[in-house]
Amino acid sequence: MNRRNWLACALAYGLGSAAQAAPAVQEHPEWARFFTEAGIDGSMLVVDARTAEATTHVVHPARAQRRYSPASTFKIPHSLFALDAGILRDEFQVIPWDGVQRSTAAWNQDQNLRSAMRNSTVWVYERFARELGPERETAYLQKLGYGNAAISGDQPFWVEGDLALSSFEQIAFLRRLHANSLPFQVAHQRLVKDVMINAAGADWILRAKTGWTGSIGWWVGWIEWPSGPVFFALNMDTPHRLGDLAKRQAITHRILRTLDALPATP
């Protein structure tokens, strides 16, 4: 199997139950310089659905196919689980702070869904996990077909444990969320998409979520245009830890602008 066909098959596998045809794949070795200039290793996968036949763009495709811990990108499906289970009513429900002082100041107060997503408040989702319990967590993951659907290992399982998925699988999940085709109430999917908004302009909206395990960083999401969405999943090493985190968005912005998928000043 040649490299192009391997990539098409990889994407078709990643789409899973989304039941979408594998789009054409274009490799972009020239994008590697964005990672090199930032002094880190990583991959970038983009699915541009602004035309009738979506086009996949990728740099470092083998890494894009490899599974990694989702870290806080898991807050997207985890929010859907909490809403579906009735643990969370809506974006206004107050989630009381437990009074434990944590290193991130924004976490040391009551939260709601919007602030928990914006601040990536770990303790909120740890509470959701306790209330859901392992059986329901596993059932939701399997129902969704989310990565390897594993909740074993250290906790939280989406950061320290065995849960893992690839960039191809990240985008497959996001495409289904964008289309409201996940096995959850449409109202819940729309709510989660609303709290994912990072930026917007006159004719575009950026919905995205960061993730970080301490060694691996993510930024995943999509930009909505009148002509259609552009999905992206960046995965990269963070050898300088906090010093590397801003590079997730910076590299993604630079790559998306080569496709005219993001304005110069989002």
Those residues whose C-beta lies under 8 Å from the C-beta of residue 95, and which sit 6 or more positions away, are: 88, 110, 111, 112, 113, 116, 124, 127
Q: Alpha helices of the chain — where are they, by DSSP H?
A: 3-15, 32-38, 61-65, 75-85, 113-118, 122-144, 167-178, 186-195, 246-258
Catalytic residue at 167?
no
Select which of 43, 69, 72, 115 is catalytic.
72
| Closest listed residue to residue 20, CA positions, set 148, 171, 220, 225 | 171
Helices 167-178 and 3-15, axial angle in degrees (round to 10): 50
| Closest listed residue to residue 209, CA positions, set 74, 41, 114, 95 | 74
Annotated catalytic sites, by residue? 72
